[in-house]
Amino acid sequence: MRPTWADIDLEAIAHNVGVFRGLVGDSDLCAVVKAGAYGHGTAEVGRAAVGAGATWLGVALVDEAAQLRSAGITVPIIVLSEPRPSEMAGLATLDGVRPTVYSHAGIVAFASAAPAGSPVHLKVDTGMNRVGAEPSDAIGLAQVIAGSGLVLEGLFTHFASADQPGDGFTEVQVRAFDDVLAELSATGMKPPVVHMANTGATLTRPDSHRSMVRVGIGLYGVEPSTALQGRCGELGLRQSMRLRSEVAHLHEVGGGGGVSYGHRWVADAPTRLATLPIGYADGLTRAWWEHGQVLIGGRRRSVRGVITMDQTVVEVDESVAVGDEAVILGSQGDGFVGAGEMADATGTIGYEVLATVGARVPRRY
């Protein structure tokens, strides 16, 4: 096995599920495990989350739902975007997997492939402006669902800015969604599963919890935004990924010597350097070099020179030896490097930091 790997702490996943279960009371908890469970492992995280009290799982693709069923996981699964009409027949063979629908074509395609009475969830776009039915179209689509022999089990929307506490647009979306619910109720349709809260809203908007919440990034112990870092810390969420490597090579560069492509970093004095066998092909974003630090011997060591596809160079001292452990994300001794820290320094979000840890990085559970 290569000397670069990711430790996935399934006990941390279970702990985080427990934290959110304590926040949402009687609401169901849908653990979002799309994109390989944000790089952690779809089936492994799915089992851990369900074992800790998650009652639903959320995915983005039909193939992801099939993977969970092949792993023997039986809880309800929702595919969070409408599959193409050509995918609906395959989805219909997966017991207990609910498609999201928001188009006439999608509804008809699923109805033609699935048994009568099969449940679907209708997504309403209340302002994310990505996918979903327009609020003005929701009632008509709900009627198409009923007329096609399907069951409108769920109605949901997705927040655009719930990770920013106090952002007024979240309230706009809540009201728009509640208006659709009221119109549905007036026609006699009352879907039993109503959900809108993502991790940010689950943390800050109890009024949005409804009958189910969908927790993604929080499941992995990472804050959805810098603004919620304190809240996540107060709750004791635990980062579940620890990305590790080791020192593969040591050498010195003299004063004035440049390091890595383009010599973007130049030593101002003789400097001892360690090379780690991990690079941007493993998910360590190239831009991290400007601010990045890793942990070796329990101390922070600064990245020197741009990160390359397979290797990263850091400045060290005489205490470091070939074979020493290097922690890129997670804890070592009293030190800790969070996914949120890396995200803030590189102009992205913790979601991307986790989800882009490459497939060639072995996972150890």
Q: How do the domains of the chain map onto residue ranges?
A: 10-235, 241-337
Indicate the pLDDT class of residue 2, thresholds 50, 70 and 90: confident
Q: Is 261 a catalytic residue?
A: yes
Q: Rounded CA gap, 7 and 9, in Å?
A: 6
Region of residue 149 (left: phi > 0; alpha: psi -120 to 50; beta: else): left
Rounded to whole angstroms, how far apart are CA atoms 128 and 118? 28
Amino acid present at 339? A
Secondary structure letter of residue 207 according to DSSP = G
Alpha-carbon span 86 to 264, nearest angstrom: 49
Specify the fold of 10-235: TIM Barrel (3.20.20)
- Of the candidates 34, 123, 280, 351, the residue annotated as catalytic is 34
> Can 34 be counted among the known catalytic residues?
yes
Residue 1 has pLDDT above 80, yes or no: no
Q: Which amino acid is at 241?
A: M
pLDDT digits (tens, 9 = 90+) for 218-265: 999 999 999 999 999 999 999 999 999 999 999 999 999 999 999 999
Which two tokens mark 228?
């919620």
Identity of residue 217: I
Residue 44 contacts by C-beta under 8 Å, 6 or more apart in sequence? Answer: 8, 10, 37, 363, 365
With a cut of 90, say whether residue 43 has pLDDT above it.
Answer: yes
C-beta separation of 119 from 154 below 8 A: yes
- The active-site residue, picked from 190, 261, 280, 351, is 261
How confident is the model over 331-344, as a mean pLDDT?
Answer: 95
Those residues whose C-beta lies under 8 Å from the C-beta of residue 68, and which sit 6 or more positions away, are: 33, 42, 43, 46, 57, 59, 77
pTM over 0.85? The answer is: yes
Q: What would be the CATH architecture of the domain defined by 241-337?
A: Beta Barrel (2.40)
- 43: closest CA among 52, 33, 53? 33
Burial grade of 255 (CB within 10 A; 0-12, 13-18, 19 or more):
exposed
